[in-house]
Amino acid sequence: MDKGIGQKIPRLVIAAPSSGSGKTTFSMGLMAAFCRRGLKVQPFKVGPDYIDPAFHTGITGRNSINLDGWMLEEPVLRQLFAKGSQGADLSIVEGVMGLYDGYGADPMEGSTAGMAKILQAPVILIMTIDAMAASAAAIAYGLKEFGPVNLKGIVINKPSSPHHYQIVKDAIEKYAGVQVLGFLPKTTDIELKSRHLGLVQSSETENLPEIVDVLADLIEENIDLDLLLKVAEDASPWEFEIPASPDIRKAEFKIAVARDQAFSFYYHENLSMLCRLGAELVFFSPIRDKALPRDSCGIYIGGGYPEVFAPEIAANTALMQDIKEKAEQGMPIYGECGGYMYLNKNFTNDAGEIFPFVGIFDGEAVMTNRLQNFGYLEVLGLTDTVLFEKGERIKAHEFHKSKILRTDDNFCMQGEKVKNGAKTEWHCGRKYKNVFGMYPHIYFPANEKFAINFVRHCREYAGLR
């Protein structure tokens, strides 16, 4: 790799004091407003998230890249950022949770602040100021002084009136020493709907283009975009490793990837890495398609909302039978979280309704009223699968309310988590022939061997060396 000495990458990190402060709404509007100006905007998202990057990608036309400071090592993060930013006029990084919230009590591990430090990027804070005035200055001052972040501007979210905005603006600039760049007014025209695991997906959001247009209008009218762009362009020159052009294999076999409203949780880099290793990705819908794409040599079924679309999924018996037959023939299949649920015998929703699923595994997926094993973990392979060999590890995350009821104890992986200084371990994962499923979501850049192993099994199924 070559060193980029003093390279200029105009960049901004969008942060907030806490979740629910308007980061996603502001980030979307900012991307749309700068795209209107003819800029090529490269989006990024801090942390383990699938829904926000889909909104980013739809707005900018460039694939949003996840930057996770806990799952990925710093050199990998820097390479992903440098690679993603190539050819862009401006890179916008949407943060996660509150500015200093990440893995445990460490304010810089896995947090937005930690990522801003790694990227040497200026931070723009969006603050919702309901029921406060000068206290907003104390919050801004505390966030500015607490850690090594370059807080360069603040945007006020939902002031109750122009007078309210002016009071808060004056207090922040006087006592926190941070410039206020404008505000987002209260309006119901830009609200994004939520469900049990977060925002409703971009593919399900009605009138999304209209919402984005309104957002861009509000930002152009009420926020100093010229000053924001100058902040981004004045970001310190960044010495970074320029990734060498990958040795991309010619597509030699096909991997079928489930993608529709029910299954859409994929990291862009996961799919990109499979392609770089020689796979051609062909997409199919477990809701609509009656058979797998022709000549498929492997199947990847990611997470999503199978619990929401269970009636439509269960009605497509032809596809489920095709998948089950391919499993018996030894085709490599990987089901992750929602995809793992789909590979089991059936699913029971909150109302007690039972829906038949693929049935490669004899377990039953059932909804619960709380998150299961929520958060970051490390996965340890207990036996060989299509993804890992015994003893191999990868950092991962879990975010689901369902669980699998099973009668066997033939587990093939171990989850490990350290919380409050105590280590917790549990067993998970299911294997049948060349089929493997588990709840944890993994990011291939955290351990490329997992992608290499899967591709190797698909190549072998295709009869290739």
2-242 and 253-461: identical CATH topology? yes
**337 annotated active-site:** yes
Which CATH architecture best describes the domain 253-461?
Answer: 3-Layer(aba) Sandwich (3.40)
Which carries the bigger pLDDT value, residue 422 or residue 281?
Answer: 281
pLDDT at position 465: 47
φ, ψ dihedrals at 413, nearest 5°: -150, 160
Mean pLDDT of 77-102: 95
Q: How far apart are CA 223 and CA 225, in angstroms?
A: 6
Alpha-carbon torsion 30, 31, 36, 37, what sign? positive
- Cβ contact 398:374 at 8 Å: yes
pLDDT category at 244 given cuts 50, 70, 90 is low
Domain chopping of the chain, boundaries: 2-242, 253-461
pLDDT at 194 over 60: no
Antiparallel, parallel or unpaired: β 393-398 and 375-381:
antiparallel
pLDDT at 196 over 60: no
The two three-digit tokens of residue 8, written as one number:
């200029």
pLDDT at position 1: 46
- Nearest Cα neighbor of 346 from 307, 288, 290, 298 is 307
Q: Which range is least confidently modeled, 72-86, 201-215, 421-435? A: 201-215
Mean pLDDT of 140-147: 96
- State the catalytic residue, choosing from 297, 337, 412, 428: 337
The answer to whether domain 2-242 has CATH 3.50.50.60 is: no
Cα three-residue angle 110-34-245, rounded to 5 degrees? 60
pLDDT category at 10 given cuts 50, 70, 90 is very high
Cα three-residue angle 396-60-299, rounded to 5 degrees? 40
pLDDT at 260 over 60: yes
pLDDT at position 299: 98
pLDDT digit string, tens, across residues 15-45:
999 998 999 999 999 999 999 999 999 999 9
The two three-digit tokens of residue 193, written as one number:
């709907």
pLDDT category at 100 given cuts 50, 70, 90 is very high
pLDDT category at 193 given cuts 50, 70, 90 is low
pLDDT category at 208 given cuts 50, 70, 90 is confident
Residue type, 187: T
Residue 203 Ramachandran class (φ > 0 left, ψ -120 to 50 alpha, else beta): alpha
Hey, which residues does 375 pair with through a beta bridge? 398
Antiparallel, parallel or unpaired: β 441-442 and 393-398:
antiparallel
Q: Supply the mean pLDDT for the chain.
A: 91
